[in-house]
Amino acid sequence: MTQEDLSERARISVSFLSMMERGDRVPHIETLAKLSDALRVPLPEMFLGLGETPESSPRLLDSLIEYLEHQPLDADDVEVLLVVAKAMFKDKRPSSSP
């Protein structure tokens, strides 16, 4: 969804939406409610995970896990996914020696 789409759905200006996204403006609760409605996300859910680091957030991998749970995967499929994931993220792992 573009900023234009969201601003139209939420009935706020694109410039104000952009300022909120950059952290230049803090929206009132009414604006947050409009955004919540536009995104079809319950307002309280928009605040889940705030203040948590990715490592401490138990919800970080929820969408990936939910997607995989609905796939008809067998053991071989899971092994292939692990190989691909390890190859994709090998440079992100901390090195064990300097």
- pLDDT tens for 42-95 read 888 888 766 666 665 566 677 777 888 888 888 888 888 888 888 887 766 555
Domain boundaries, the chain: 3-47, 54-92
**Other CB atoms within 10 A of residue 10 CB:** 20
- pLDDT tens for 7-38 read 999 999 999 999 999 889 888 999 999 999 99
pLDDT of residue 97: 47
Report the distance separating Cα 36 and Cα 20, nearest Å: 14
Q: Does the pTM of the predicted model rise above 0.85?
A: no
pLDDT of residue 43: 87
